[in-house]
């Protein structure tokens, strides 16, 4: 159906932009830990899936029958993303439980994570062993299909494990932001699991491989990324929101790129009437008239953010003054380093204290 086709096209475009935005956000984090690195590769995997599927649909629109090189390229993007997605999903949840919740993860769970990473390669070797007598069995495209199939087989159990982990984290959390985030994430896992199960088929139900189920999976797959983006930017989840400069630079960059894409598309539409260069010039120079309304819109927002920042500095100062009243200099220095590092999302903070306190009555950051 044409409507489902265009809905899926919009969903794939949104998913590509959301996960690309998250990649840039995580990449700019000043204090990368194992968790942030895993989140980066998890979002990279999802970005490859959405980018490959988007390229596939655009190729079908542009060429009808895409060239072999194009088909191989988008199949490679989707295949690599799908193959490692189950392992990255489970691994990221386990590392979050260990690093943030401070709960031990058994060796069996880590062994399962290792098997999830290895399984796509094992699936390729097993398929080679089974069909080694068939002609052309070792071509790269066939190996890529088997590699992708290995990841697809693990998606259902991986989502189920993530659902269980989300429930455990939400139940044990005392932070309302963290609890709400994982409650919503668990609800999305239920919907994604149901759509994937319908695609594979279970019990007496036949597999649903039509356009409706594919569109539902594409739409649902965007929501976890959008949820993480919302809580990271507006709720400072995982301290991503502390990167104020990045918070302002990334949306502006994305809007500029989208506007340039719009300029190119409109120039193509009006080419029978106007030269593309003339259309592009008009659309670019018309931005001059938007500066004044944008300044009026953004000015109050920046002032409010400035007041919030100054309020955070004052609260931090009061908290450190309360710690200083205890009279323990070593504890005060350690607490100040911790609070400043968390408040400003710094990689490390070190305070040097002179041996003779009478020489300098305050701490000197180094």
- CATH code for position 8: 1.20.1070.10
- pLDDT (mean) for 81-98: 95
Whether 247 maps to a domain, the answer reads no
Confidence of residue 362 (pLDDT cuts 50, 70, 90): very low
Residues 84, 189, single domain; the answer is: yes
The token pair that represents 198 in the structure block: 């319908």
Assess whether pLDDT exceeds 50 at residue 360: no
CB 1 within 8 A of CB 207: no
Residue 364 CB: number of other CB atoms within 10 A?
A: 9
Looking at per-residue pLDDT, the higher value among 363 and 116 belongs to: 116
Confidence of residue 364 (pLDDT cuts 50, 70, 90): very low
**pTM for the predicted model, two decimal places:** 0.78
Confidence of residue 113 (pLDDT cuts 50, 70, 90): very high
Smallest CA-to-CA distance from 24 within 54, 53, 7, 44 is with 44
Confidence of residue 247 (pLDDT cuts 50, 70, 90): low
The token pair that represents 135 in the structure block: 């002609």
Distances in whole angstroms, Cα of residue 116 to Cα of each of 78, 123, 153, 204, 298: 17, 11, 11, 28, 47
Average pLDDT of the residues of the chain: 82
Domain count, the chain: 2
Residues 212, 314, single domain; the answer is: no
What is the span of the domain harbouring residue 284?
A: 254-365
Whether 76 maps to a domain, the answer reads yes
Q: What is the DSSP string of 78-107?
A: HHHHHHHHHHHHHHHHHHHHHHTS-----H
Residue 99 CB: number of other CB atoms within 10 A?
A: 14
The token pair that represents 350 in the structure block: 């070190």
The token pair that represents 361 in the structure block: 């009555």
Assess whether pLDDT exceeds 60 at residue 366: no
Confidence of residue 119 (pLDDT cuts 50, 70, 90): very high
- pLDDT (mean) for 176-189: 94
Q: What is the DSSP string of 12-58?
A: HHHHHHHHHHHHHHHHT-SS--HHHHHHHHHHHHHHHHHHHHHHHHH
Looking at per-residue pLDDT, the higher value among 257 and 109 belongs to: 109
Angle at 149 between CA 146 and CA 150, to 5 degrees: 90
Predicted confidence at residue 235, as pLDDT, reads: 78
Residues 289, 227, single domain; the answer is: no
CA 300 – CA 258 distance, rounded (Å): 25
Residues 171, 150, single domain; the answer is: yes
């Amino acid at each position: 159906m044409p409507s489902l086709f265009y809905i899926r096209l919009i969903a794939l475009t949104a998913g590509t932009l959301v996960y690309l935005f998250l990649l840039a956000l995580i990449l700019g984090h000043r204090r990368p830990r194992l968790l942030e690195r895993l989140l980066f590769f998890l979002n990279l995997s999802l970005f490859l899936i959405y980018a490959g599927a988007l390229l596939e649909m655009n190729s079908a629109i542009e060429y009808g029958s895409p060239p072999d090189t194009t088909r191989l390229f988008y199949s490679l993007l989707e295949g690599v993303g799908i193959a490692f997605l189950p392992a990255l999903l489970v691994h990221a949840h386990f590392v979050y439980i260990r690093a943030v919740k401070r709960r031990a993860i058994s060796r069996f769970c880590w062994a399962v994570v290792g098997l999830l990473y290895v399984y796509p390669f094992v699936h390729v070797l097993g398929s080679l062993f089974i069909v080694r007598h068939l002609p052309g069995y070792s071509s790269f495209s066939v190996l890529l299909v088997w590699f992708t199939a290995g990841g697809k087989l693990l998606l259902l159990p991986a989502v189920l494990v993530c659902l269980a982990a989300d429930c455990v984290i939400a139940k044990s959390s005392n932070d309302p932001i963290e609890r709400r985030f994982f409650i919503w994430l668990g609800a999305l896992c239920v919907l994604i699991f149901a759509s994937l199960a319908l695609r594979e088929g279970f019990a007496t139900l036949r597999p649903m491989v039509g356009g409706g189920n594919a569109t539902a999976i594409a739409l649902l797959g965007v929501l976890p990324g959008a949820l993480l983006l919302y809580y990271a930017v507006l709720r400072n989840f995982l301290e991503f929101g502390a990167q104020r400069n990045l918070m302002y630079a990334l949306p502006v960059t994305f809007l500029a790129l989208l506007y340039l894409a719009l300029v190119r598309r409109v120039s193509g539409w009006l080419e029978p009437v106007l030269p593309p260069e003339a259309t592009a010039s008009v659309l670019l120079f018309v931005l001059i008239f938007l500066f004044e309304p944008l300044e009026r819109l953004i000015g109050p927002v920046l002032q409010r953010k400035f007041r919030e920042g100054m309020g955070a500095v004052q609260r931090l100062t009061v908290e450190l003054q309360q710690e200083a009243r205890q009279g323990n200099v070593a504890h005060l220095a350690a607490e100040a380093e911790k609070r400043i590092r968390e408040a400003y999302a710094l990689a490390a903070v070190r305070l040097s204290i002179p041996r003779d306190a009478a020489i300098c009555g305050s701490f000197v950051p180094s």
